[in-house]
Amino acid sequence: MTERGIHIRTCPLCEAMCGLEVHHDGAAVTLIRGNRADVWSRGYICPKGTTLGHLHHDPDRVRVPLVRNGAGTFAEASWEAAFERCGELIEAVRAEHEIEAMTVYFGNPVAHNYSISRYLGLLSELAGLTIYSAGTVDQWPKNVVAELLYGHAWRIPVPDIEHTDFMVVQGANPHTSQGSLMSHADVPGALDAVRQRGRVVVIDPRRTGTVGSEEEWLPIRPGTDALLQLAVVHVLFAEDLVRLGHLEDRLAGIEKVRRIAADFPPERVAGTCGTSAAAIRGLARDFAAAERAVWYGRIGTCTQEFGTLASWLPDVICALTANLDAVGGLMWPKPVAWSPVLQNWGGSRGFGRWSSRVRGAPEVLGQVPMSCLAEEIDTPGPGQVKSLLVVAGNPVLSAPDSGRLDAALPLLDCMISVDNAVNETSRHAHVILPGLSALEQPHCDDLLWTWATRSVAKWSPALFPPADDRPEEWEILTRLAFMFAGTPAESTDLAAFDDLYFSAWAEMGGVDPAVALAAAPSPGPERLIDLTIRTGPWGDRYGENPGGLTLERVKQAPNGIDMGAIVPRIDEVVLHAGGKVDLAPEHITSDVDRLAERLERTDESLVLVSRRHLRSNNSWMHNVPVLVSGKDRCTLLIHPDDAAAAGVADGAPATVRSSNGEIEVPVEVSDEMMPGVVSLPHGWGHDRPGTRQSVARQRPGVNSNLLAPPDFVDVPSGNAALNGIPVEVAPAG
C-alpha cells in the first residue's frame, strides 16, 4: 500500500474492539481516529487505539529474528538461521529430558491476535508442552465456575449491559479497562445509559472512574467480596426474595446454597468487609426488586484470596433472582463464528489429575499457578523445566514473585520468545522470533465475539505488506510445534499439515472436510475463520443455507455486520444432564470453610491492590511516547489517614514491603482509596539491563509484582491473589 488513503480496521488492543480509521500517506500512518460507521463501536475509541501507527513505526520493534550470541548480546539472523538455532536448542533438551522439561507460557495478546489464537493449541496438543498462562493471573476462577455450573470452562455468561437497569460492578473498572469478559464498545457510555434507566453500584476498595457519584460507591476490604455476596444470598432467602421464574426447573443445588448462606447474615460479615449490614441488606433488596438486574465481577473478584467463591456468587445471585439467561441479566453470547475453545476439543479439562513437581499444586483445568514456573525452573531434580517458549507475554513483570522468575530464566537450556519486543522477559531468550505488526496482518476477533454483548462480525485486512521473507505467527507456531514434537524435518510439510488441521476443524463444524477444503485451498487462519462463520449460527454451510454468512460477505462490509443483541439461549449452552445448572458444586462450596475462617482474622495491616490506567496495556505499551507523557502514573495511592500514620507525604518516595519483597515508589495521597488499602499499577519496572525499549526505559516505574507472594492463591482455581497483599509502608531511606 503506497498511496494516501483511509484504511478501516478494528483495534486489536482490548476487548472493546473499536472500529478505526487509519489515515496513511504511503508507508506512514498520519492519523488514527474512531470509525463512526462501525456497526459495533460507532466512532468510540480510547487513546491507545490512536497509537497503532506508533507501534508499527517504533524503531525498537523487533522486525528480524534475534539470536543470542556467546557474548550474551543479540545478533540479527535470517529466518532460516533462527529456526535452525531453535531446532538445535530444542533437540538438545529433547535428547536429555522427558517432555515434562518443556513448557510454554501464553500471554494476554494471544487472545487478540488473529494468527496466534487459532494455532496455539498445537503447542499443547501436538507438541505436548505443559501450559502456563496469563489465565492463572487473571480469570481462572471464572473458568472454574463455568466448568462446574454450566459444564464448560469457557461458557462464561456476560452482562447484558445494553438492556439492564441495575448493574453491580464488583472488582472491575471498565472506565479504564473498557470491559473484560464482557466485550462491549464504550462501556462508560453504556454505564451512563444504565444510570439513566436505573442504577449502578460499584463495589471496590477504590473510588475509581467507574464510580459515577458518591452514592454509587460501596467500598470493600479486599478479598472479602464473597462474604458480602453470601450475605446478599442470605437476605434473598431470609426475606423471601428468591424468584426463579423461567429458571424454576433449571437449577440444581438451591437448597445447599440456602444452607450455606444461612450462616452468613449481613450482621456477621459487615465488619470484616468494611461496610454496614444495612448497606448489604439494602443492596440485596434493591437488586431483587429491579426488573432487569445483573451482577458483574472481574479482576478484583478473580485475582484475590477467594476468587472462585467471589466469581461463583454473582452467578448464583443472578440465578436466584431470575436474572440468568434473561434480557438485562447474565447471558451467553451467540457468536457469529464458533471458537474451538467452546467446543469439547483442545484438551480435556479436569481438577487435580496431576500436581506440580515442587510445590505439589494441583492442576486446575490443565494448568497450575503461573507462580509455580520459577520454582520449576530453578529447583533441580527429575522433571526440572529446561525449555520455555513464551508466546506474547512478559511474565517477568506480570507474574507474582516475578523477581524469582527473572533470576530463573537464565538457567534455561532453551528459551524462545515469540514477541515483537526485547523486553524484561524476552531479553533472556536464546532466540526471539518477531510477529508482524498489527497493521501488517489481517485482524479478526472471533475469539472475543464469544463474550460480546452483540453478535457482530468484522474483518480487517492488512494495511502494509510485511517484508517478503516474514512468516506469519501461525507458521512460526506450527514450525515450533513440529520441533518440540520431534517430527523429522522431511515430514514437516506445513501446507499438508494445515490441511489436516483444517479438516479436523471442518469435522468439528459438522461439514465434509473435502467440501470445505475445496472451497478454501490456502493454508492459514483465514480459512479457519471462513469455516467457523460458515458453520456458525448464520453461516451458509457451504451452500446448504444459500444467502448465509461467509467470510467473503463479512469482508464486503468493512464497517461490520450486526446480527443483533445477545439473547437467552440456556438450552444450547448448559451441558449438564437435563440442561440443569449445578448451582452448588462441591469443588466450590468446600472452600466456604476457608472463607468462614477469614472472619476470625483480626490483624488488619495495610493491604495492596492493583490498578490499571487507560493509557497502559499491562506491561507492553510504555514504549509509545504519547502514552507515557504527563505525570508519573507508577505511584502508591494511599488514603490521607494512612499516609499520616505511615509518615509518608504526597510526592515523596515510600518503601512498600511485603513478605515477598520491598520496592520504593512515589506516594500519591488520595481519598479515592478506602482507609487501610493502598494501590499500585502493575506492568512497570522497565529498568532491567538488556532490553530494547528506549522510551519505556526513561520512565521505568517499579515492578509491583516483586511484592506478590507466589503461594498467595485462590485455592479452588490456583489463580494468583494479586490483590489484598499485606504490606507495610514507610518513608524511603
Ligand X SMILES: Nc1nc2c(c(=O)[nH]1)N[C@H]1C(S)=C(S)[C@@H](COP(=O)(O)OP(=O)(O)OC[C@H]3O[C@@H](n4cnc5c(=O)[nH]c(N)nc54)[C@H](O)[C@@H]3O)O[C@H]1N2
Kindly state the cell numbers that stand for 444: 479478526
CB of 443 to ligand SF4, least distance (A): 11
* Identified binder of ligand X from the candidate list 38, 138, 540, 582, rule CB under 6 A: 138
- Counting contacts by CB under 6 A, is residue 421 touching ligand X? yes
- In angstroms, rounded to a whole number, what is the distance separating the alpha carbons of residues 263 and 710? 32
| Options 45-53, 287-295, 445-453, 649-657: segment touching ligand SF4 (CB under 6 A) | 45-53
Closest CA to 395 of 364, 431, 419: 419
Query: At which residue does the C-alpha cell 456476560 appear?
Result: 158
Question: 521: which DSSP letter?
Answer: -
| Total residues binding ligand X (CB under 6 A) | 62
Q: Which of 11, 202, 254, 648 binds ligand SF4 (CB under 6 A)?
A: 11
H or E element, residue 5: strand 4-10
* Half-sphere exposure (Cβ direction) of 142: Cα atoms closer than 13 Å: 22
Q: Going along 409-490, which residue ranges are E strands?
A: 414-418, 431-433, 454-457
State in angstroms the smallest separation of the CB of 12 from ligand SF4.
7
Q: Is the Cβ of residue 211 or residue 516 nearer to ligand X in the bound state?
A: 211
Nearer to ligand SF4, 49 or 369 (CB): 49
Q: For residue 705, state whether it binds ligand X (rule: CB under 6 A).
A: yes
**422 near ligand X (CB under 6 A):** no
Among 121, 141, 369, 435, binds ligand X (CB under 6 A): 435
Pairing mode, if any, of strands 130-133 and 431-433?
unpaired
What residues numbered 260-299 form the site for ligand X, per CB under 6 A? 298-299
Q: Nearest-CB residue to ligand SF4?
A: 49
> According to the binding rule CB under 6 A, does residue 685 interact with ligand X?
no
Classify residue 435 as left (phi > 0), alpha (psi -120 to 50) or beta: beta
Contact track, ligand SF4, 14-43, x by CB under 6 A: x-xxx-------------------------
- Pick the stretch among 416-424, 538-546, 551-559, 633-641 that binds ligand X (CB under 6 A): 416-424
Max CA distance (Å), the chain: 73
Q: Which range, of 97-105, 136-144, 341-349, 689-697, touches Mo ion by CB under 5 A?
A: 136-144
**In sequence order, what are the residues at sequence separation of 6 or more whose Cβ sits closer than 8 angstroms to the Cβ of residue 220?**
170, 203, 204, 205, 228, 273, 274, 275, 674
Nearer to ligand SF4, 49 or 685 (CB): 49
Reduce the DSSP state of residue 331 to 3 states and report it.
strand
Please check whether residue 732 is in contact with residue 653, taking contact to mean a CB–CB distance below 8 angstroms: yes
Phi-psi region at 541: left, alpha or beta (left = phi > 0; alpha = psi -120 to 50): left
Cα–Cα distance measured from residue 688 to residue 706, given in angstroms and rounded to the nearest whole number: 13
Q: Are 62 and 427 in contact (CB under 8 A)?
A: no
Residue of 296, 619, 229, 292 lying closest to 451 (CA atoms): 296
Nearest to ligand SF4 of 49, 435 (CB atom): 49
Q: How far is the CB of 128 from ligand SF4 (least distance, A)?
A: 35
SS3 of 33, please?
A: strand
661 near ligand X (CB under 6 A): no
Give the C-alpha separation, 636 to 526, whole Å: 45
- Rounded CA-CA distance 618/696 in Å is 13
CB of 686 to ligand X, least distance (A): 11
Options 420, 450, 535, 658; binder of ligand X; rule CB under 6 A: 420
Name which of 138 and 401 has its Cβ closer to Mo ion: 138
Cell of 238: 431470609
What's the CA gap between 388 and 133, in Å, rounded?
Answer: 12
Q: Which of 49, 65, 157, 171 binds ligand X (CB under 6 A)?
A: 171
16 binds, among ligand X, Mo ion, ligand SF4, none (CB under 5 to 8 A by kind): ligand SF4
* Element holding 517 (H helix, E strand): helix 513-519
Output 170 or 535, the one with its CB closest to ligand X.
Answer: 170
What does the alpha-carbon distance between residue 25 and residue 331 come to, in Å, rounded to a whole number? 44
Q: Which of 9, 24, 48, 199 binds ligand SF4 (CB under 6 A)?
A: 48
Which residue is at the shortest CB distance from ligand X?
300
| Choice between 481 and 628, CB closer to ligand SF4 | 628
Q: Between 48 and 458, whose beta carbon lies closer to ligand SF4?
A: 48
The C-alpha cell at 554 is 463479512
Among 392, 457, 462, 678, binds ligand X (CB under 6 A): 392
Q: Does 178 bind ligand SF4 (CB under 6 A)?
A: yes
In 601-724, at which residue ranges do the beta strands (DSSP E only) sit? 606-611, 636-638, 653-657, 662-669, 677-681
CA atoms within 13 A on the CB side of 231: 26
Sign of the four-CA dihedral 389, 394, 397, 398: negative
- Binding pattern for the stretch 181-210 against ligand X, x by CB under 6 A and - elsewhere: ----------------------xxxx-x--
- Binding ligand SF4 (rule: CB under 6 A), the pick from 7, 8, 49, 368 is 49
Among 138, 160, 540, 642, binds Mo ion (CB under 5 A): 138
Cell 445448572 sits on residue: 581
Least distance from C-beta 620 to ligand X, angstroms?
4
CB-nearer residue toward ligand X: 115 or 655: 115
**Per-residue H/E/C for 206-266:** ECCCCCCCHHHEECCCCCCHHHHHHHHHHHHHHCCCCCCHHHCCCEECHHHHHHHHHCCCH
Q: Quick one: 582 or 714, whose CB is closer to ligand X?
A: 714
17 binds, among ligand X, Mo ion, ligand SF4, none (CB under 5 to 8 A by kind): ligand SF4
Q: Which stretch binds Mo ion (CB under 5 A): 134-142, 407-415, 489-497, 706-714?
A: 134-142
Nearer to ligand SF4, 17 or 284 (CB): 17
| Binding residues vs ligand X (CB under 6 A) | 14, 107-109, 113, 134, 137-138, 170-174, 176-178, 180, 203-206, 208, 220, 222-223, 225, 298-301, 303-304, 392-395, 398, 418-421, 423, 435, 473, 609-612, 614, 616-620, 682-683, 704-705, 708, 722-724
| Binding residues vs Mo ion (CB under 5 A) | 138
